[in-house]
Amino acid sequence: MQTTVFETPIEFLKGVGPERAKLLKSELNIFTFGDLVCHYPFRYVDRSRFYKINEVNAELPYAQIIGKIRNISNAGANRQLRLTADFYDETGSIELIWFQGAKWVRKVLTENAEFIVFGKPVYFKGKLNIIHPELNLLKPKTGGQDLHGLENPSSREKPGGIGLTLQPVYSTTEKLSAMGLNSRGIQKLLSSLFEKIQGSIPENLSEDILLKWKLLKRNEALLKIHFPDNARALKMAQSRLKFEELFFIQIEILKIKMSREKGLRGLVFAKVGEMVNRFYKEILPFSLTEAQKRVIKEIRRDLGSGKQMNRLLQGDVGSGKTMVALMCMLIAADNNFQSCLMAPTEILANQHYRNILFLLEKLGLKTALLTGTTKAKERRELHQNLLNGEIKILIGTHALIEEEVKFKNLGLVVIDEQHRFGVEQRAKMQMKRPPDIPDESSEHPPEFRNPNDLAKVVSPPAFQSPPHVLVMTATPIPRTLAMTIYGDLDVSVIDELPPGRKPIKTLHFTDAQRLQLYGMMKKEISMGHQVYVVYPLIFESEKLDYKHLEEGLEALEISFPKPQFQISVVHGKMKQKGRELEMERFLKKETQILVSTTVIEVGVDVPNASVMVIENAERFGLSQLHQLRGRVGRGAEQSYCILCTGDKLGPDGRLRMQTMVQTNDGFKIAETDLQLRGAGDLLGTMQSGEINLRIANLALDGQILQAARKTAEEVLSDDINLAKPANLPVATQFAILQKGKKDWSRIS
Ligand code: ADP
Ligand code: MG
């Protein structure tokens, strides 16, 4: 493959010696010219804007002011010598301070000459100051004055000069800054880099695509992202580069998806037989909702198609995903395949097991439970019965992905509350099916660094038929995110709750309303209902969280005294046995209140519970709040979710509470969550995998993503191997990106 100028090692750039090169690599992962070019500014400072001094305040990130200097003075003792000067215009004055280089600065400060001062205003010793400002003479004498690395104004046209109205700001580190590579130092490197490579940056989008979306050429976009002439040029450059970034991700995802769909390697579940029919006629305790029926149909089509199913099932909390999963497992059983259901917590696995065991009793399908606490002896027996095929349905936690767990004939993997599992775990589960022809390598699933790598496991060598995979989540994922993380999965949505449910009423209470809250709780309890009280549990402040829980519990015990009231307590510090016992008491209605940390968050189903009280609600993210709220409202009665916070809330916290009070729609909540937290954070809690976006922002760039996806679809459906001449630029770039991915060794 042809190499491009982008692959030139960074050492070869003028101004980068071996030492700087070493630091650029270790600190910023900049190994090549290409890496430097793609080290985009994270922000721009508007140098076209000048402030009057009376407009300046410490909130401004930067201010640029024209004025004059007076009252230059040295202050402080020898070792702490500092230089100060008043800087004034017709509206007022501000102090300039230098702690370093005072002697030298002193020489160039001229009273009554006009300067442009640029810097971050701060409050220091009760006064507004700019410390170590950038300083330029407005009307330079011959030769001009250049302080602190600023080029003199006569060099304004040159890239990197202050003539740029939008000055880029680059991320850097202390070590790099100490070597002269602060933001401006990096800008200088880029300036000399562009002088060198400007003409030889290869285009990586086809002519058609550029024309269709009116995109800047790549070399122009890269130049303008670093050296924008104005806001409009910058915007165009950003759009082009965002498009490019998202486009190549989509090419990768869609290539995998399309080639998988072309192959005919899936296990075929040809029939719906006795198990399904009997279950449907004799056991199913309610009629399915239309949405459930539709989704089961979609899944059945997949299972019978000869293609491997990879389906994401989204449905709000309480929409009845478990029943859909169970029906699918019965289809597997009807076709003599085993299936398994993996849940993220022990409590949830137990609950699934109990419910399913109860439902399947009549059918005589052997169902087993495997969790971290399953005893060794039981475990051995269970392994045996999985291998000989006696166990048809296995339910458990991530204990299911341990090495020793081997199936005779695994046909379907259901993963519940998927956002709780790492991609790695998801992928390992799919390796659980022994290859149709022995293959040593399948015992060691590769490491997954990118969520989309999952799809590669899904397409193993041709002789293996992987099990079908159904991934379920109650955290609705914004479309943009789903298209990126789950872009290779088909999506089914249950958009309907079982009939008879009343929408949950959500209220926001502050501390002053505690009596009112207790009153509500008492009223509900007197009607025979039950109440959850949940405390956050955050790793860093675990101790504090437990203290909150304990104090809260004490207060509750006073207001809800025994024997009239009984309270269960469940938290992570308790032994498994104790937790189960307490949970059990609540399930059996022996207790009316369940006080817990977030262990109950996922999936637990107690239809009789009608109130969810969330303490310190401001400390929860939106999707978590929504999840918790979904624990109630499962019966026919009116249910309530009470968000308790202190009086003072930040703007984010306030918006979260408002959103919760205003809507029950999980998708709306997910969108707001994405806006608030950004994709990175959201992913952090949803996935252990990562998506590294350099410039695009999934919360903001939905439109560009749509365009990129559409374009990728068009390109691939016409030319899946990117072999046509018109697609050469795309193919070349794609190959480079793939190669870079394999080359993980260079990233420590
Ligand atoms: P989730 O989608 O949150 O996993 P579950 O599968 O736990 O929801 O279902 C929530 C509750 O709704 C369970 O008690 C379940 O038995 C009940 N349920 C599911 N489907 C229906 C239906 N079609 N009609 C009535 N109740 C249903
Ligand atoms: Mg569930």
The predicted-structure confidence for 168-203, as pLDDT tens digits, reads as follows: 889 888 889 888 898 889 999 999 999 999 888 889
The Cα diameter of the chain in Å comes to: 98
Question: Considering only 365-369, 457-461, 709-713, which range has the smallest mean pLDDT?
Answer: 457-461
Q: In this structure, are 370 and 440 located in the same domain?
A: yes
Q: What is the pLDDT of residue 748?
A: 29
Q: What are the structure tokens assigned to 682, written together?
A: 């959201």
- Is the per-residue pLDDT at 153 higher than 50? no
597: confidence class by pLDDT, cuts 50, 70, 90: confident
Which residues are CB-neighbours of 597 under 8 A, at least 6 positions away? 534, 535, 536, 537, 545, 546, 549, 570, 571, 572
Does the beta carbon of 666 lie inside 6 Å of ligand 1? Answer: no
Phi, psi of 357 (to 5 degrees): -55, -45
- Is the per-residue pLDDT at 540 higher than 80? no
Q: In this structure, are 140 and 189 located in the same domain?
A: no
Question: Considering only 133-147, 324-338, 481-495, 556-570, which range has the smallest mean pLDDT?
Answer: 133-147
Q: In this structure, are 407 and 450 located in the same domain?
A: yes
144: confidence class by pLDDT, cuts 50, 70, 90: very low
Determine whether 528 is exposed, middle or buried from the number of CB atoms within 10 Å of its CB (0-12, 13-18, 19+). Answer: exposed
- b/e code 192-205 from CB counts within 10 Å (16+ = b): ebbeebeeebeebb
Look at residues 640, 663, 686 and tell me which one is the last residue of a structural domain.
663
Q: What is the pLDDT of residue 149?
A: 38
**Does 480 or 2 have the greater pLDDT score?**
480
d(CA 251, CA 516) in angstroms, rounded, equals 56
Q: What is the pLDDT of residue 154?
A: 35
Q: What is the mean pLDDT of residues 709-714?
A: 94
| N-term to C-term CA, the chain | 26
- In ligand 1, the atom with minimum distance to the C-alpha of 500 is 25
Q: In this structure, are 422 and 459 located in the same domain?
A: yes
Ligand at shortest distance from the CA of 496: 1
CATH number of the domain bearing residue 360: 3.40.50.300
Q: In this structure, are 442 and 527 located in the same domain?
A: no
d(CA 80, CA 360) in angstroms, rounded, equals 80
Look at residues 113, 147, 181 and tell me which one is the last residue of a structural domain.
147
- In ligand 1, the atom with minimum distance to the C-alpha of 315 is 2
- In ligand 1, the atom with minimum distance to the C-alpha of 321 is 2
Give the amino acid at 549: L
205: confidence class by pLDDT, cuts 50, 70, 90: very high
**Does 583 or 37 have the greater pLDDT score?**
37
Does the beta carbon of 288 lie inside 6 Å of ligand 1? Answer: yes
- Check residue 384 and give left, alpha or beta (phi > 0: left; psi -120 to 50: alpha): alpha
- Is the per-residue pLDDT at 444 higher than 70? no
Residue 310 within a domain: yes
Q: Measuring CA to CA, which residue among 516, 359, 344, 524 is closest to residue 416?
A: 344
Look at residues 464, 494, 524 and tell me which one is the last residue of a structural domain.
494
Contact in structure between 670 and 476 (CB atoms under 8 Å): yes
Task: Using DSSP bridges, classify how beta strands 127-131 and 121-124 pair: parallel, antiparallel or unpaired.
Answer: antiparallel
**Does 106 or 358 have the greater pLDDT score?**
358
Q: What is the pLDDT of residue 207?
A: 94
Residue 732 within a domain: no
Q: In this structure, are 396 and 271 located in the same domain?
A: yes
Residue 722 within a domain: no
Give the total number of structural domains in the chain: 4
Q: In this structure, are 34 and 56 located in the same domain?
A: no
Q: Measuring CA to CA, which residue among 416, 477, 428 is closest to residue 601?
A: 416
**Does 424 or 541 have the greater pLDDT score?**
541
Q: In this structure, are 462 and 365 located in the same domain?
A: yes
Distance 530 CA to ligand 2 centre (A): 20
- Check residue 261 and give left, alpha or beta (phi > 0: left; psi -120 to 50: alpha): alpha
Nearest residue (by CA) to ligand 1, atom 5, is: 320
Q: What are the structure tokens assigned to 22, written together?
A: 């070493």
Residue 747 within a domain: no
What is the average pLDDT value for the chain, to the nearest integer?
Answer: 83
Nearest residue (by CA) to ligand 1, atom 9, is: 320
d(CA 448, CA 687) in angstroms, rounded, equals 12
Contact in structure between 183 and 42 (CB atoms under 8 Å): no
d(CA 311, CA 458) in angstroms, rounded, equals 12
Nearest residue (by CA) to ligand 1, atom 26, is: 498
378: confidence class by pLDDT, cuts 50, 70, 90: very high
Does the beta carbon of 320 lie inside 6 Å of ligand 1? Answer: yes
Does the beta carbon of 317 lie inside 6 Å of ligand 1? Answer: yes
Q: What is the pLDDT of residue 574?
A: 83
Domain assignment of residue 186, given as a range: 1-47+164-230
d(CA 553, CA 309) in angstroms, rounded, equals 47
Q: In this structure, are 490 and 527 located in the same domain?
A: no
Q: In this structure, are 177 and 192 located in the same domain?
A: yes
Does the beta carbon of 319 lie inside 6 Å of ligand 1? Answer: yes
- Is the per-residue pLDDT at 236 higher than 80? yes
Residue 249 within a domain: no
Task: Using DSSP bridges, classify how beta strands 127-131 and 367-370 pair: parallel, antiparallel or unpaired.
Answer: unpaired
Does the beta carbon of 498 lie inside 6 Å of ligand 1? Answer: yes
- Is the per-residue pLDDT at 689 higher than 70? no
Does the beta carbon of 604 lie inside 6 Å of ligand 1? Answer: no
For a pocket test of ligand 1, which of 324, 605, 623, 639 has the largest count of ligand atoms closer than 8 A to its C-beta? 605
693: confidence class by pLDDT, cuts 50, 70, 90: confident
461: confidence class by pLDDT, cuts 50, 70, 90: very low
- Is the per-residue pLDDT at 232 higher than 80? yes
Residue 374 within a domain: yes
Q: What is the mean pLDDT of residues 495-512?
A: 90
Beta bridge partners of 570: 596
- Is the per-residue pLDDT at 106 higher than 90? no
Distance 185 CA to ligand 1 centre (A): 60
464: confidence class by pLDDT, cuts 50, 70, 90: low
Ligand at shortest distance from the CA of 293: 1
- In ligand 1, the atom with minimum distance to the C-alpha of 494 is 2
Contact in structure between 215 and 199 (CB atoms under 8 Å): no
Ligand at shortest distance from the CA of 608: 1
509: confidence class by pLDDT, cuts 50, 70, 90: very high
Q: What is the pLDDT of residues 34-93, one digit of tens each?
A: 999 999 998 888 887 889 999 998 888 788 999 999 998 887 666 567 888 999 999 999
Give the amino acid at 431: M
Does the beta carbon of 20 lie inside 6 Å of ligand 1? Answer: no
CATH number of the domain bearing residue 76: 2.40.50.140
Residue 683 within a domain: no
- Is the per-residue pLDDT at 734 higher than 50? yes
351: confidence class by pLDDT, cuts 50, 70, 90: confident
Task: Using DSSP bridges, classify how beta strands 43-46 and 166-169 pair: parallel, antiparallel or unpaired.
Answer: antiparallel
Q: What is the mean pLDDT of residues 603-616?
A: 87
Q: In this structure, are 32 and 109 located in the same domain?
A: no
Residue 720 within a domain: no
Q: Is this structure's pTM higher than 0.75? A: no
Question: Considering only 113-122, 142-151, 302-311, 360-369, which range has the smallest mean pLDDT?
Answer: 142-151
Give the amino acid at 375: K
Contact in structure between 338 and 332 (CB atoms under 8 Å): yes
- In ligand 1, the atom with minimum distance to the C-alpha of 634 is 11
Return the HEC string of 475-509. Answer: CCCCHHHHHHHCCCCEEEEECCCCCCCCCCEEEEE
CA atoms within 13 A on the CB side of 671: 10
Q: What is the mean pLDDT of residues 6-13?
A: 91
Q: In this structure, are 464 and 558 located in the same domain?
A: no
Nearest residue (by CA) to ligand 1, atom 23, is: 288
